[in-house]
Structure 1
Amino acid sequence: MQYTDSVISNPVRFWLLLIAMVPSVACSIAILYYTLSSRTRRRGIHNHFIILLLCNNLIYELIDISLFLNYYRSGTVVPATKSLCLMWMFVDETLYNVSTVTIAWASIERHIIIFHDKWLSSVKKRFLLHYAPYAIVITYTILFHFVIIVIPPCENTYNYTQEICGHPLCSHNSKLVGTWDSVVHNIIPAITIVIFSISLLARVLIKNHRMRRAFQWRKHRKIAIQLLLISFLYLLLYIPIICIELVQLCCVSEELNGPFEQYAHFFSYYVILLLPFVYMGSLIESSWQLKMLLPCWFRATQVVEPMAMTTGHFTARNPN
């Protein structure tokens, strides 16, 4: 739903996004370099989720957020073409939902990695429980949005004076398609993240209490903390959108959600922008890890200084 009178002016939106986007892109590139530059980290099964998520979000920022910035700067879609509108809608809808479903599956997979690591002990098991689920959910999400956006059975009407060209998804005029999109790609993933993130924390605490030792917490501490922090950020900024969609699915008048919906939709983009910083915070446990992550910022210059020589006093001994 679009509004002619925005509660947040375009210049304010422009600077809010730009100030967050620049360091976010730099942080994403640094983390990807840190992870991919090491064979051990690159092959670590627990890092694949982060690599997928950061790559997806980096593309989203460079394309989608850049188009938003261009729109907020000029007040219109430039260039005003159908192809640009299709690309903008496709990237905005698809990559955001790819991020959602990826986090949802990762919240399930973390239980397997921490508590049932034997399920991933062979190549076949890793394919079935690790690689295949990510491939399925991501491929499905891309194909679904390609059909309803790029080759819909109806004709979209574009408004070049509104962001995302008015978001003219004519497919959503179908109650079935609109409900499926909201429930499958937004509501169910959000509920999944909540349930499995809370249950992960509960299982770790209960296991530690029962066994009176650290169980695998020390070994898998970073894996659990990463998921919990990412899930918390995601739900904090995404829950308002879910509430709005639930209200609209219950046939409540959309006029009741006007200003709140605008704020919720705009700040939901900060899930993508802030995620690299949340991951970096869970990654860094000491200053030496920060130096490994950003080596170019911590290159110490070797300074050659004169070294003071101590002189000793020797007493000559008379020969006998």
Structure 2
Amino acid sequence: MVILLSISIPCSICIFIYFYRQRKKTSNHQHLTLVLVILCFMDMIINFPFGMIYNRYRKVIPATPSFCLWWNWWVYSFITAFIWVTAWGSIDRHLLVFHNTLMSTQRRRFVFHTLPMVFCLLPCFAHSQPTITLYDFVMNTIIPLAIITIANVALIVRVLWQKRNQRGDWQRKWKLTTYLISIAILFMITWYPKAINNIIYMYTSSPVSLSLQSKYFLFLPAILEMILPIVSLYFLSDFKKIVFRFRQNTIIPQNLNHQTPAAKRP
């Protein structure tokens, strides 16, 4: 975690600089990148230090009921917001790529693009109740994971179908889908083992399943959060030029009309 955080946090800051300097030119398909990186950055600087302290000393610091209640609220609210924003982003990418007329006016962009994403950012977990554990797992893990998987598979199929039939500007559409497909693959690698193992434990109460969950699978989503800003940075166009102000040196040819005197013969 220390190694990944030392890379991911500077990458996140560079992404914020990029979007600040591009604030007047940011396109709709880049909003998902910005929101996801903000969420990951907030969790890395707020939640991860307490988790690292717990893993180091094997106790919660500070060990008070109010802090534990706040920590649980933050963790579960963040997880719900993070996974549902990605799920909606997977649907939203279909609208941006194949139905961009829905974003033709400011009102339509608010209704079909901004409002659903804001709604996904407003979960609230006051505290855990055993009677709603199954509902919480299905509603906030299984359903959004299924949406992410199905929506991105459908996105790939639609773009490749247009490529096969040489219809539309499929190359531009493929470029718009590659970032989201990369994030979806990371979600499948990090979230599916945890979700499947959780289902196994719910129906078998296997101690092996519990051990795998607590020692390994529980930390996979945290790896996703730390890798996501690094991956996001790769997909930002003209990143070096905008953030670091790199400019390509241009060689200006001399004036062709300027004639140098001919050399005298010896």
- Measure, in 2, the Cα distance between the counterparts of 1:260 and 1:78: 25
Q: Which residue of 1 aligns with 2:20?
A: 36
Instruction: Go from structure 1 to structure 2 and tell me whether the alpha carbon gap of 1:299 and 1:117 turns closer, same or farther (over 3 Å shift).
Output: closer
Does 1:261 find its partner at 2:213? Answer: yes
Instruction: Go from structure 1 to structure 2 and tell me whether the alpha carbon gap of 1:315 and 1:202 turns closer, same or farther (over 3 Å shift).
Output: same
Q: Which residue of 2 aligns with 1:188?
A: 143
Residue among 23, 26, 37 paired with 1:54: 37
Residue among 227, 230, 243 paired with 1:277: 230
CA contact (8 A) 1:107 1:193 kept: yes
CA contact (8 A) 1:70 1:78 kept: yes
Does 1:292 find its partner at 2:241? Answer: yes
- Measure, in 2, the Cα distance between the counterparts of 1:108 and 1:18: 34
CA contact (8 A) 1:27 1:276 kept: yes
SS in structure 1 of the partner of residue 59 of structure 2: coil
Comparing 50-59 and 186-195, the one that deviates more: 50-59
> 1:192 deviation in Å?
0.5
- Measure, in 1, the Cα distance between the counterparts of 2:136 and 2:242: 38
CA contact (8 A) 1:114 1:216 kept: no
SS in structure 1 of the partner of residue 30 of structure 2: helix
Q: Which residue of 1 aligns with 2:77?
A: 94
CA contact (8 A) 2:9 2:41 kept: yes
Residue among 229, 238, 245 paired with 2:191: 238
- Measure, in 1, the Cα distance between the counterparts of 2:56 and 2:262: 78
Q: Which residue of 2 aligns with 1:226?
A: 179
Residue among 88, 95, 101 paired with 1:112: 95
- Measure, in 2, the Cα distance between the counterparts of 1:184 and 1:230: 20
Q: Provide the TM-score with structure 2 as the length reference.
A: 0.87
- Please list every run of at least 4 consecutive aligned residues from structure 1 whose deviation after the TM superposition is greater than 6 angstroms: none
Structure 2 unaligned runs (5+)? 249-259
Does 1:126 find its partner at 2:75? Answer: no
- Measure, in 2, the Cα distance between the counterparts of 1:258 and 1:247: 9
Task: Encode CA deviations 1:39-91: one digit per residue, 9 max, x unaligned.
Answer: 3443x111111111111111101011111112223332122222221222122
Q: Provide the TM-score with structure 1 as the length reference.
A: 0.73
Between 1 and 2, higher relative CO (CA 8 Å, sep ≥ 6) is seen in 2
Larger Rg: 1
Residue among 130, 133, 136 paired with 2:119: 136
The number of equivalent residue pairs is 253
Q: Which residue of 1 aligns with 2:164?
A: 209
Q: Which residue identity lines up with residue 192 of structure 2 in the other structure?
A: I
Residue among 65, 68, 74 paired with 2:57: 74
Between the aligned residues of both structures, percent identity stands at 25
SS in structure 2 of the partner of residue 80 of structure 1: coil
